[in-house]
Amino acid sequence: MAKKKRGRTSSTRKSSKKTKRVTKKQPKKNIYPIIGIIAIVVIIIVAKYSGIEAETKGKVVGVVNGELIYEEELLKEASRLPPQLQQVLDENTVLSQLIDKKLLQAEARKAGTEVDNEINRILAENNITIEQLSENVATQGFTLEEFKDQLRVFLFLNETLFYDLEVSDEEIFNYYELNPELFTVPESVRARHILISTESRTDEEALAIMDEVKTAFEEDKEKFCELVEEYSEDPGSKDTCGEYPAFTRDSNFVQEYKDTAFNNEVGEASVVKTQFGYHLIQTLEKTPERTFSLEEVEGQLKTNLLFEKQKEKFRVYIEELRSNAEIINCFETPETEICIEEEETTEEPLEEDSIVTFAKCLSEKGAKMFGAYWCSHCAAQKRMFGDAWEHITYVECSIEGNPRAQTEICRNERISGYPTWEVNGQKHTGEQTLDNLAKLSGCVLT
């Protein structure tokens, strides 16, 4: 194996009651370019630091200019974030983003920003109906009205905050001159190898096998792939004729492997020993270092510099909005009266048989939970039931490999947050306690 092993770490951040992970969904490729553009506004918010209400709102988690933000809405916002962000953003961060979004939506409405013309343009350019647009945004976890709210903010920012921002030729030239390393691609090499491992044999035994491989290669250099298939013990490159993607001198490969690949002439093959064993390394191609000219990068550079200006102006603007708003963040000031919850009575632990009976009752009454494989709140619900979970009717909404997409059944059910429980024909978004499920369903907990 040529690559070095690298450790991975992860961190979690807990609240006083339960961990809530939140994320923002990554833009999905679709036929509406404007959706991707609106995502840029979202990215600006994240870089700086309203769902439909269901019957069970949960506790108050924040207030913006007198408007209450309930836990349910926060959970919906969290469920729309991609899984990778759910692992790093806590509920306080997501609430801050939600507060910013509400402030922006209020300003856009106050300014009288209209979206009808833009909606009509989207429909005309894509030759679709309003129903088709609604279906498309639903696959990304939004209702049409929520999409319009985001579109209104996007138009408002472009018409007011960003309309006069420009990047001059001088700014582009100065940035290019001051940051040459950003426009230089280091030399790279393509190589392939055959590994004879020393993990389960002596050096002498491994070297003897390598001698056979090298001799066979020198007799017929067109048989390299066949030799990989027959001899190589690197599973990571066996299916690619021993080749990894092109790499530089700074890439995460063992030093002896890199040195040999760079020192070989193109087409030459040499034997070298590393911590993994003996390698026959053949150099396939060398690409010299290259610096892109200003003309080649000017367009992208202008876009990047404009985006940085937008981020900075947006940051200042949001701070100004916040300073003039009445905001309560219950995660930061839990002692505020509106944030204080009534003390919950401690529940007696339930016997396993009782939970199983309860779970069966829920299923018999048609209760079901809609969720996603990446949703931490859904996982918490499963843990709450333990082994009795097998009796719960569960509907998986997320599509493996494309977590932002939704299955047809969940789109038809208009599921906008995870988990969502359906009990007695009514949908309830957010985690539910056993007691709450008992009240909603009429099933008895004993």
Here the CATH number for the domain that contains residue 31 is: 1.10.4030
Helix, strand, or coil here: 351?
A: coil
pLDDT of residue 430: 79
Is residue 263 included in any domain, yes or no? yes
The stretch 65-77 carries a mean pLDDT of: 87
Please tell me the distance from the alpha carbon of residue 423 to that of residue 431, in angstroms, as a whole number. Answer: 13
pLDDT of residue 49: 38
pLDDT of residue 1: 53
pLDDT of residue 12: 33
Same domain, 322 and 369: no
- Percent of the chain predicted with pLDDT > 90: 61
Is residue 14 included in any domain, yes or no? no
Q: What is the CATH number of the domain that holds 261?
A: 3.10.50.40
Q: Is 0.75 topped by the overall pTM?
A: no
Q: Which domain holds residue 116?
A: 21-166+302-329
Same domain, 33 and 155: yes
pLDDT of residue 57: 61
- Percent of the chain predicted with pLDDT > 70: 83
Same domain, 243 and 201: yes
Judge residue 304's burial from the number of C-beta atoms within 10 Å of its C-beta, 0-12 exposed, 13-18 middle, 19 or more buried: middle
Please tell me the distance from the alpha carbon of residue 124 to that of residue 32, in angstroms, as a whole number. Answer: 11
Split at pLDDT 50, 70, 90, the class of 271 is: very high
Is residue 44 included in any domain, yes or no? yes
Same domain, 191 and 246: yes
Q: Of 33-37, 198-202, 372-376, 405-409, which one has max mean pLDDT?
A: 198-202
Split at pLDDT 50, 70, 90, the class of 350 is: low
Same domain, 266 and 381: no
Contact (Cβ atoms closer than 8 angstroms) between residue 224 and residue 192: yes
Q: Where are the beta strands (DSSP E) in 101-226?
A: 184-185, 188-197
Same domain, 229 and 162: no
Is residue 346 included in any domain, yes or no? no
Is residue 181 included in any domain, yes or no? no
The stretch 37-51 carries a mean pLDDT of: 43
pLDDT of residue 267: 95
Is residue 222 included in any domain, yes or no? yes
Same domain, 42 and 161: yes
Contact (Cβ atoms closer than 8 angstroms) between residue 59 and residue 399: no
Split at pLDDT 50, 70, 90, the class of 419 is: confident
Please tell me the distance from the alpha carbon of residue 147 to that of residue 396, in angstroms, as a whole number. Answer: 24
Amino acid sitting at position 238 = K
The stretch 277-290 carries a mean pLDDT of: 97
Task: Dump pLDDT digits (tens) for 141-152.
Answer: 788 998 999 999
Domain count, the chain: 3
Please tell me the distance from the alpha carbon of residue 111 to that of residue 179, in angstroms, as a whole number. Answer: 40
Q: Provide CB contacts within 8 A for 411, sequence distance 6+.
A: 135, 138, 139
pLDDT of residue 6: 38
Q: Is the per-residue pLDDT at 418 higher than 90?
A: no
Residue 188, phi then psi, degrees to nearest 5: -140, 165
Same domain, 144 and 35: yes
Q: Is the per-residue pLDDT at 46 higher than 80?
A: no
Is residue 177 included in any domain, yes or no? no
Same domain, 145 and 200: no
Is residue 230 included in any domain, yes or no? yes
The stretch 331-348 carries a mean pLDDT of: 72
Q: What is the mean pLDDT of the chain?
A: 84
The Cβ of residue 290 has, within 10 Å, a number of other Cβ atoms equal to: 12
Same domain, 136 and 223: no
User: Domain boundary residue among 262, 288, 314?
Assistant: 288
Q: Is the per-residue pLDDT at 37 higher than 50?
A: no
Split at pLDDT 50, 70, 90, the class of 85 is: confident
Same domain, 29 and 160: yes
Please tell me the distance from the alpha carbon of residue 213 to that of residue 215, in angstroms, as a whole number. Answer: 5
The stretch 324-337 carries a mean pLDDT of: 91
Same domain, 225 and 319: no
Structure tokens given for 318: 């949001």
Judge residue 373's burial from the number of C-beta atoms within 10 Å of its C-beta, 0-12 exposed, 13-18 middle, 19 or more buried: middle
Q: Is the per-residue pLDDT at 173 higher than 90?
A: yes
pLDDT of residue 187: 97
Q: Is the per-residue pLDDT at 29 higher than 50?
A: no
Amino acid sitting at position 329 = N
* Lowest pLDDT segment from 32-41, 174-183, 380-389: 32-41
Residue 338, phi then psi, degrees to nearest 5: -70, -15
* Lowest pLDDT segment from 57-61, 235-239, 245-249: 57-61
Q: What is the CATH number of the domain that holds 422?
A: 3.40.30.10
Amino acid sitting at position 260 = T
